[in-house]
Structure 1
Amino acid sequence: MSFVLRSLAVSDPGLVRPNNEDVAFAGSRLVAVADGMGGAPAGEVASEIVISGLAPVERSAETDPLAALVTAITTANARIRAVTDEDQATEGMGTTVTAMLLTGRRLGVAHVGDSRGYLFRAGRFTQLTRDDTFVQALVDQGGLTSEEARRHPQRSLVTRAVQGGPVEPATVALIVEAGDRLLVCSDGLSDVVNDDAIAGVLAGYPDRAECAQQLVKLAHQAGAPDNVTLVVADVVPAAGPELPTPAG
């Protein structure tokens, strides 16, 4: 059986930032979030370059979702390098990216930075990506707990980004099931809303629009110091070919 995504994206500036450097894509095969960095307008430029580079993958004939994602991100990374070479004012700009591509039953996930990808399946909530951050490295070494990392003053210090230099996206592959719910989000959500609360919303709001708005609401209730961008996507069986109507 083949599957498609029913997806919806929401991007909110939050309550503190004067501009929004996040960009999202919500398609029937591809979902992605890029969180720009480097200050306005450079961060916005970098995130737009990456999402624009990923968008054609939605209709790609490539059967390997991971290969398609990595190629698109690598190409966008080179484009960012070209832009910064042409305009010194954009030097240092970059972006995170987390993208998921569905091909048949195969879901590929490609990731750089601290935007996150999650899977909610049969009541179980799983983080599919690992943050490329200073505090995550401390957690991995046993120096911080996950909850301490959430409150750490350097929690947003990213150790890898798509900014024109050498970068290899981390990848994950899995087989989807009907009823799976996927979430891709910027750290404007995951830094201020804990996993239990996110999982509760994914479980409690079947309607994607209501689900997305509730997640943004929780981020606002927590102060929303950063842009909040997310894509909620449900895995559903692909519609079969339309059968001809019998004559007579």
Structure 2
Amino acid sequence: MLDLANDQLDTVRSLVGRRLPGREVRIFGSRVTGRARLHSDLDLVIMGSEPVSDLALAELRADLEESDLPFRVDVITWTGIPKSLREEIERHHERLRPPLEIAQDSCQDSDMIPARDRQEVLGEIARRHGAGLVYLFGSQAEAGSRYLRGGEAAPESGSDLDIGVVFVSPPASAVPVYGDLYAELTGLFEPFTVDLVFLHEVSALFRYEAILGECAYAASDAFQEEFEERTIKQAADLKFKKRIFDEEVLEAIRDGYFEVKP
């Protein structure tokens, strides 16, 4: 039996899922064998023969150390331990199951995740990465939204599910955040092909197209309202300026400043 409180397990699961999406991680040691004390270490091993990047491992260890867990968490890799320890882990371990898998198992007599669980998982992902809004837009928006609410997946061949993310505060380094988010959203919306866009990096007209889709997650109504009002105003300004520019170009052509050849 695992000697770990549910909230502590949720914290570990979220941090590991953020840094190592898709990797199997096992819990071993005193927290599994029943010999743990109040502040005993939690031992984790990252399974598989594929190497774990030094950066991902360092970031995971830092996240765990900075968390509010009242004990130390030791993280090792399967490829870096001796045979005797591997055999011990094989005998006594608990698998650290990701949130999405737990949600899938909670739905009996169906392989469909309940709507509340898909939406809860999306909310967990968004909050973990500091996202204030998540939009589904484009040709697959309706299908993606229906799937998120508990419907069957019906992806259109050759079309991506466009997902736009608005951060409460844009990350200083977008590349690692993009990789983590893309991996988690791809897992959540499988079998859709996900096209992820950070909306603070695109034009107001592009943002306007995104907000015409489905808002799948909002940190608050106020945050959503402020973002959408600002986007609509900026997009309207751009459209007005473009119309003025087009009119001036047409007038210049009529006045002979430009020669238009068929």
Q: Shorter-chain TM-score: which interval?
A: under 0.3
TM-score, length-scaled by structure 1: 0.24
Q: Which has the larger radius of gyration?
A: 2
Query: Which one has the bigger strand percentage?
Result: 1
Q: Of the two structures, which has the highest relative contact order with CA contacts closer than 8 Å and spacing of 6 or more? A: 1
Query: Which one has the bigger helix percentage?
Result: 2
